[in-house]
Structure 1
Amino acid sequence: MTSPSVVPDPPAHRYVRVERSGPLTIVTLDRPDRLNALHTAAHNEVAAVLDDFAADPAQWVAIITGAGRAFCAGNDLRYMAEGGSLERPPSGFGGLTSRFDLNKPIIAAVNGAAMGGGFEIALSCDIVIAADDAVFAMPEPRVGLAALASGLHRLPRTIGWQQAMGIILTGRRVTPEEGRSLGFVNAVVPRDDVMTEARRWATLMLECSPLAIRAAKEIARDGLSQPSLEQAIASQRSGAALHAMLASEDYREGPLAFAEKRQPRWQGR
């Protein structure tokens, strides 16, 4: 079986590149001269791309990465110093950090520095693949700022209070191996293999029912907001994604394929 061809988007974007390979969307932050630091126009472009991904039933998984030698250096402080706006869309930094209704999985392929908002983008993804020479930090206090694009909340929830404060309150740099030991990095690979590894994880997801994946993500995310495990379990059948899964053709296709000893043919409906 031949793999699907990669189809680039028409060149309508200035600060981001988008490719689609079958049901996989690849989003590349494309300001390499600024280490992919983002300003208002770039935020809005990425937000629009992720809006399209979220709304497109043919797109099931996304990978976010950076052009050149960085993933994302956070806010474009040079642009800010020049008087430029750093306003963000309602969906947050990079159109992602305040996006709480996206049930499709997103993989961060961290090919280099993930600083400030770049780290926060990675933390907002479901899977983080890091190059072995990548670096993570929230250096905002060193320039008189605070990591207000969700990092101050996501990191403690991911790795615990003391470990998170050890990163947040010092602005220190964290290696990918330390990130993996702390729990916010899934895999560390040589730089040249970052996208290959990210695609491998995406392929594993694409072998699953897309509606089941969305239901699982919605249930897990919403459960974190419940005050107890008991209440999380009691409320897990109330989500729209689960209802969509139970009413779908794919819900019948999975058991049928198992009984017929063949690979399921997922339709996403």
Structure 2
Amino acid sequence: MSKVLTRVDGRVLTVTINRPECMNALDPETHALMSAAFDRYAADDELWLAVVRGAGGEAFSAGGDIRAMQDALEGKAEYKVPPSGYGGLTSRHGLDKPLLAVVEGVAMGGGFEIALACDIIVARDNARFGLPEPMIGAVAFAGGMHRLPRQIGSKRAMQMLLTGQSIDAATACEWGLVNEVADAAALEETVARWCRRLSAGAPLALRATKACVEAGLALPLETAIALQDSGGYPALERMRASEDVVEGIRAFNEKRKPLWRGR
């Protein structure tokens, strides 16, 4: 059985870390397989949404495979992470398609950092999030030190980063880290509802939105807005020239559901 499973349902690609026997820890092969899956997602215009989750219900991912790291320290093997980062996502800058993380059980270290690299997080009520790297003499190198403060503010982020303290799903939702929490019985329908929501809008409009938000966050507000009118966001220009813009206006005026084509 592969360490990473992929499934396509219509326009949605689901990528599942499939190592439940070790809490979906990430060894080099798992990193490579996930990176390949997200390469496919980025390149395929027929795929509009990607969902990432862990198998087994007890862990999204416990992070890097410490046993594999020990082997690397002893010179028995190499612990190699692809240029796209942990799980093929944490250093994959410029991916403007939506990403939905479904977190059950623990999301620790690099596993948490994969979830942080996603746009939306749906958590089961048994989820726990943490960055315990300092407890083993390391740091949250895969984006955690930079994404977490941007997402929940400096003080709460530093609390987690400096103490290794984990938080439960309810706290993560209260802090704005998680979009929705569901119990085991409601989880799959909750995920399906989010997939419907994230697939309802025009795909090029969603891509333009994500691209503009991510680029604009690094700019002064006035500059970020001005770039919208000066061609500064290629994804926005692609949307403006698309058939879907015409279809959206027609569908609204004809009081019908639009038929998006992604072009």
TM-score by length of 1: 0.93
Note the 1:170-185 alignment, pairs <5 A. 170-185=163-178
Partner residue of 1:47? Answer: 35
Amino acid at match of 2:26: L
Partner residue of 1:231? Answer: 223
Q: Does 1:210 align with 2:211?
A: no
CA distance, structure 2, for counterparts of residue 176 and residue 164 of structure 1? 16
- Provide the aligned C-alpha RMSD in A: 1.1
CA distance, structure 2, for counterparts of residue 257 and residue 229 of structure 1? 33
Instruction: Work out which of the residue numbers 26, 31, 35 in structure 1 matches 2:23.
Output: 35
Instruction: Work out which of the residue numbers 235, 240, 243 in structure 2 matches 1:246.
Output: 240
Instruction: Work out which of the residue numbers 51, 55, 62 in structure 2 matches 1:67.
Output: 55
Partner residue of 2:70? Answer: 81
Superposed displacement of residue 235, structure 1: 1.7
Deviant stretches of 4+, over 6 Å: none
Q: Which runs of 5+ in 2 are unaligned?
A: none
Partner residue of 1:149? Answer: 142
CA distance, structure 1, for counterparts of residue 252 and residue 50 of structure 2? 27
Asked if the contact 2:202–2:260 (Cα under 8 Å) also holds between the matched residues in 1, the reply is yes
Partner residue of 1:3? Answer: none
Asked if the contact 2:120–2:178 (Cα under 8 Å) also holds between the matched residues in 1, the reply is yes
Superposed displacement of residue 64, structure 1: 0.5
Amino acid at match of 1:163: R
Amino acid at match of 2:32: N
Query: SS at 2:163's partner residue?
Result: coil
Amino acid at match of 2:28: T
TM-score by length of 2: 0.95
CA distance, structure 1, for counterparts of residue 2 and residue 112 of structure 2? 22
Asked if the contact 1:131–1:191 (Cα under 8 Å) also holds between the matched residues in 2, the reply is yes
Note the 1:161-200 alignment, pairs <5 A. 161-200=154-193
Superposed displacement of residue 180, structure 1: 0.9
Summarize deviations over 1:167-215 as a string: whole Å, max 9, x none.
0000011111111111111001103433321221111121110000000
Amino acid at match of 2:39: D
CA distance, structure 2, for counterparts of residue 239 and residue 143 of structure 1? 41
